[in-house]
Structure 1
Amino acid sequence: MSTPPPSKCAICQVHRVAWTKPRMDFCYECLPGGPVVPPPCRSCGARDRYFSQGQCDSCHPGAPMHPGACRSCLAWGVHRAHSWYCWSCRWWATHYPMAECMVCGFHTTIGDAGMCRLCSVEGRRVKEPGRAVDLAAVSRNGQQLYLANLHHTYVPRGKRHRSLDEPAAVKPPQHRLGVAEFTPVKWRQLLLFRMPPNQGALKRRIAVPDTEMLAFCDSVLREHAARHGWSKKLTNEVKRSLKLLHALQDTPGAKIHASDVLELPRIGGTALSTLEILAAADLLIDDRTLAVRHYFAKHTAELPQTMVTQLQTWLDVMIEGSRQAPRRRARHPQTAHLHILGMSPILQTWAETGRQSLAEVSRKDFVAALPTRGAQRNFAEQGFRSLFKVLKARKIIFTDPTRGLPITPVNATVPLPLDSDAIRRALNSPDPAVALAVALVAFHAVTSPQLAAMQLTDIRDGRLALQDRTIPLAGPVLTRLSAYLDHRSKTWPATLNAHLFVNRKTAPRTTPVSRNFPWIAAQLKPQALREDRILQEIHATGGDVRRICDLFGLSITAALRYANTLEHPDLANGPIDNSVAPSADH
């Protein structure tokens, strides 16, 4: 298996070279002065199947029909032409996930019982009639190897073998007959301490037949998978993950915590899709902690306890809002993250000087602790204004040291044009999603959040309906849109996701893609590309601010930021290249 095949003939590029030692670059048919009749195989004597180096296509170790061992079940008799897999293991690879076998420890395709195919065949061979497979007895006396394609894999009722090139048929949702609604238990077994799972006990629990809870989850899984167009492999990954969760439960039959689901990847399970199924079955307790709370705990670990309590009150109001007077709406977690980023160095300094509470901070202390300039000063001012305002409203501090102080203006940046060659390369990217996203931003200055939230129904008759604006799409955008829609329908034909942009993670769901998709592959920043497009338009129109506001939905203040570049010394000396995107006049 490790011997690579010899190179092809330098002339016909069809047959392999006649021999490799000494080096030869032609086959027998293309030899100078030929064609020459190849000699018989020096190993088996075959005369009509010559391959290279005096051997036929079965005897040469690099030939496509040279026999070897299966990569998964180690069965003898597979060929290089079939990627060193037997027929049953090829079927397993399309239906089951890759993980570590709980019996032999081999990292390969794992079935529902947590075993590889070799251990499954061995288990059926050694098991007693009428009893479940004893995992301890499977590997007690070693493994019995066999010839390839003699032991066919077990296919459940209603399924059949199909070729890898044949698409899986999406069946309509069907409820399992005889499966009643499952009601989780109300009580919960408390633990004195948590121990790592015992592998032997975990193997025995997975091997038992499905309980009422697993049967109910399986019916929900099948219906959800058929409705969202999940692949067989993803469906079986979630089924195995549900079995692992059920085996690890401290209280059998109780609802499952999301924090336990997030630990599944460590033992070979999948977390995100399993969370969806548990939520659909109403068996999930969402106890996940926001990332901003972990960030808060990390940056307040060395502060005095009184100060941490005051900061915790502020953080709860920021994230969850407040219904008591004075009422306050919840803010985005990223806002609290930026506030903590700006306040953390100053809070550490105050703690080192002996302050135990924020009530001890005076206006003089606050002004002296602020950075002199830059974004860090803006973050600190905004954070402390929010912090002291909440604490004063809750009567935790006596005075607000930030009240009445002037706000430091944010330093405005000058938008700069991008390299036109980089934009052209991204527009002609072989990835249809990258080409379409770059075209929408380069021609119409669409923002990254608007791209992620864009629906398929937002584009009608060559026009894009974007909030309160209707944008006629440019010709290059329509070309790339057509190519992307063909790619989307071919790659994910059964997806229910109504968003325009989907990827491997969002196609089985209805959620939008992240704001980083597909910009990591494009190697461009959408904000910089948008600024480049607006700069081209402001220079093409001679500084028409009203037109810029109507065309891109900008405010007067934002449009003036681009209009001021007309007199900027770094941008006035050289013309901006308008060859990538047309102006609004065309």
Structure 2
Amino acid sequence: MALNADGWCRLCWRQAASQRTGRRSIGVVEANADGQQLFLANLFRQKRLPPQTPSTETMPNAGRYPVIHRQGVLVDLVRDILAGQQAGFPDPPIPELALLLEQAAAEHAARHGWSKTRRNSATAALRILLALQDTPGAPITTTEIARLTALSANARPLEEILDAVGMLDDDKESTLDAWFARQSRDLPEPMAGELRTWFEILRDGRTTPPRFRPKSTNTIRVRTRALIPVLKSWEADGHRSLRTITRNHVQDALPTSGSRRALTGSALRSLFRVLKARKVVFVNPTVRIRTGKPETRQPLPMSLAVVREALGSPNPARQALAALVAFHAPRSGDIRALRLTDVRDGRMYLPTHTILLADEARNLVGRWLDHRATHWPRTLNPHLFINTFTAVRTVPVSHVWINKTLGVSAQAVREDRILHEAAATFGDPRRLCDLFGLSILAARRYTDTVNGPTLGSATQAPR
């Protein structure tokens, strides 16, 4: 028996080497070259490789989808998804398209660090969607995806996968459009159409003269809520169009004073300015009508017992949030938008200013980063704060999650900290602007309280 330097017989060493390298097994002639030797099989377990899915670049006809035609249906019936689950769904009519979407789901899952269970669930849902299509190969609508919620399928990841390969048809109505339709459904025509014209300009803006910038969703909702009662009162008086509204009608509809008068006047001014620019109405009846400014709420101190409790919490996310809010008081929106690269070198880089982190805040943020890396090591989400739902995506956490995790409103803590700083600096507006990214007008809201009756006796600087 011939042995090598390590004490292996040459035949065993050759056989083991062939298993490790994946080469062909040795033949009879090679086996008898140095004599016979019994070989014990399965001494070396070969690593099982995952099944390889062909790349979309090598798949034939991958560029044919989605198809541009739509097959009409004779009777549009609502499919019973639960019954289909019990009876079993058919196979997709186009296997190559199913393979394409399976590859897209695998790539999306690998990029976002999905678990095997989540990836398989998404793949199964995509196969169901393909099997239920009236037009095989056509884009899949968000309405069809929403039907799978009966099977506890998460619609948002499916939409992201289909959108990445150009197979998504977003046919759902936006929440803002649906909300506006409910608010204005009782108005008569043509008043409802005139209000709809104003709404579309505020939502989308206008790039041709006269130009308008699109407004935020919150601004549109606030102004619409202020307009609807006024328009319904005009309808009750017999007006069916805004063209018949005069200056006297506007003055009678305005509240006497306060923030309600300012808000209603601003909404009416916006409505008639847009309609006059679009030549829907002949005159703007709100011209030269003074409505005043909204009343500002005086900031008040709050109890920080919840924040102190959060600093000692076993939850690293709650600790880090409490440290940032308690020591530096950033806005809730700034916390949501914070990325991993925005906290570095002991500083927090916000859009308006840069903050040198306190030692306690730096330590607790570091603890959260360790926890984040341990629980979601493969996540692609670039934001500093993530949770179970956002770790598999790239979106920020919500305002609700921040307040719920912190145990108190982050905005309330921010106002308390600014108020405390205003009292400590005897109402120095420059200090508030530098530390908290406020404008001069916003800083005066806090500095005015220093000289007021509530805090003046204890905090006013000697002269």
Q: Name the TM tier (shorter chain).
A: 0.7 to 0.9
Aligned partner of 1:341 in structure 2 is 225
Q: Distance in 1 between matches of 2:49 and 2:256?
A: 72
Tell me the CA shift for residue 552 of structure 1: 1.6
* Partner SS, residue 348 of structure 2: strand
Q: Distance in 1 between matches of 2:364 and 2:236?
A: 58
The 5 A counterparts of 1:70-469 are 158=49, 175=55, 179-180=59-60, 181-182=62-63, 183-191=65-73, 194-198=76-80, 203=87, 205-207=89-91, 211-469=95-353
In the alignment, residue 188 of structure 1 is paired with which amino acid? R
* Partner SS, residue 464 of structure 1: strand
In the alignment, residue 179 of structure 1 is paired with which amino acid? M
Tell me the CA shift for residue 500 of structure 1: 0.6
C-alpha spacing 1:492/1:206, structure 2 compared with 1 (3 Å): farther
Tell me the CA shift for residue 574 of structure 1: 6.4
Q: Higher RCO, 1 or 2 (CA under 8 Å, sep at least 6)?
A: 2
Tell me the CA shift for residue 567 of structure 1: 2.6
**1:116-174 Cα shifts (integer Å, max 9, x gaps):** xxxxxxxxxxxxxxxxxxxxxxxxxxxxxxxxxxxxxxxxx8459xxxxxxxxxx9x97
- Which structure features the higher share of helix residues? 2
Q: Distance in 1 between matches of 2:431 and 2:230?
A: 45
State the number of aligned residues. 409
* Partner SS, residue 518 of structure 1: helix
Q: Distance in 2 between matches of 1:320 and 1:370?
A: 28
Q: Distance in 1 between matches of 2:72 and 2:311?
A: 58
In the alignment, residue 246 of structure 2 is paired with which amino acid? S
In the alignment, residue 454 of structure 1 is paired with which amino acid? L
Contact 2:329 2:414 in 1 (8 A): yes
Q: Distance in 2 between matches of 1:187 and 1:210?
A: 16
In the alignment, residue 195 of structure 2 is paired with which amino acid? L
424-433 vs 279-288, greater mean Cα deviation: 424-433
Contact 1:322 1:328 in 2 (8 A): yes
C-alpha spacing 1:353/1:425, structure 2 compared with 1 (3 Å): same
The 5 A counterparts of 1:498-513 are 498-513=382-397
Tell me the CA shift for residue 260 of structure 1: 2.4
**1:374-421 Cα shifts (integer Å, max 9, x gaps):** 544333222221111111001110111111112321101111111021
Tell me the CA shift for residue 306 of structure 1: 0.5
**1:321-340 Cα shifts (integer Å, max 9, x gaps):** 11332122222222111111
420-429 vs 524-533, greater mean Cα deviation: 420-429
Tell me the CA shift for residue 372 of structure 1: 3.2
Sequence identity, in percent?
39
Tell me the CA shift for residue 218 of structure 1: 0.6
Q: Distance in 2 between matches of 1:198 and 1:437?
A: 45
* Partner SS, residue 355 of structure 2: strand
Contact 2:260 2:294 in 1 (8 A): no
**Structure 2: any 5+ residue segments left out of the alignment?**
1-47
Runs of at least 4 residues off by over 6 Å: none
C-alpha spacing 1:468/1:397, structure 2 compared with 1 (3 Å): closer
* Partner SS, residue 190 of structure 2: helix
**1:175-218 Cα shifts (integer Å, max 9, x gaps):** 36863314221111234653221466674543568622211111
In the alignment, residue 175 of structure 1 is paired with which amino acid? S
* Partner SS, residue 256 of structure 2: coil
* Partner SS, residue 317 of structure 2: helix
C-alpha spacing 1:270/1:409, structure 2 compared with 1 (3 Å): same
**1:230-281 Cα shifts (integer Å, max 9, x gaps):** 1112112211221222222221110011232223212432201000000111
**1:467-526 Cα shifts (integer Å, max 9, x gaps):** 353211001101211111111111110011111111122211222222223212323111
* Partner SS, residue 90 of structure 2: helix
In the alignment, residue 514 of structure 1 is paired with which amino acid? S
Q: Distance in 1 between matches of 2:217 and 2:338?
A: 23
Q: Distance in 1 between matches of 2:389 and 2:195?
A: 36
**1:550-582 Cα shifts (integer Å, max 9, x gaps):** 222211111111111113323346689xxxxxx
Q: Distance in 1 between matches of 2:259 and 2:394?
A: 37
TM-score (norm 2): 0.82
Aligned partner of 2:410 in structure 1 is 526
**Structure 1: any 5+ residue segments left out of the alignment?**
1-156, 161-170, 577-586
Tell me the CA shift for residue 424 of structure 1: 0.8
Q: Distance in 2 between matches of 1:374 and 1:211?
A: 66
C-alpha spacing 1:552/1:178, structure 2 compared with 1 (3 Å): closer
Structure 1 residue aligned with 2:439, among 555, 576, 581?
555
Tell me the CA shift for residue 429 of structure 1: 2.6
Q: Distance in 2 between matches of 1:564 and 1:364?
A: 38
Q: Distance in 1 between matches of 2:171 and 2:262?
A: 34
* Partner SS, residue 471 of structure 1: strand
TM-score (norm 1): 0.66
Q: Distance in 1 between matches of 2:320 and 2:435?
A: 20
In the alignment, residue 70 of structure 2 is paired with which amino acid? R
* Partner SS, residue 569 of structure 1: coil
Aligned partner of 2:7 in structure 1 is none
**1:358-382 Cα shifts (integer Å, max 9, x gaps):** 1111111112112334544333222
Aligned partner of 1:541 in structure 2 is 425
C-alpha spacing 1:201/1:391, structure 2 compared with 1 (3 Å): same
C-alpha spacing 1:209/1:392, structure 2 compared with 1 (3 Å): closer
In the alignment, residue 507 of structure 1 is paired with which amino acid? A
In the alignment, residue 69 of structure 2 is paired with which amino acid? W
In the alignment, residue 377 of structure 1 is paired with which amino acid? R
**1:27-75 Cα shifts (integer Å, max 9, x gaps):** xxxxxxxxxxxxxxxxxxxxxxxxxxxxxxxxxxxxxxxxxxxxxxxxx
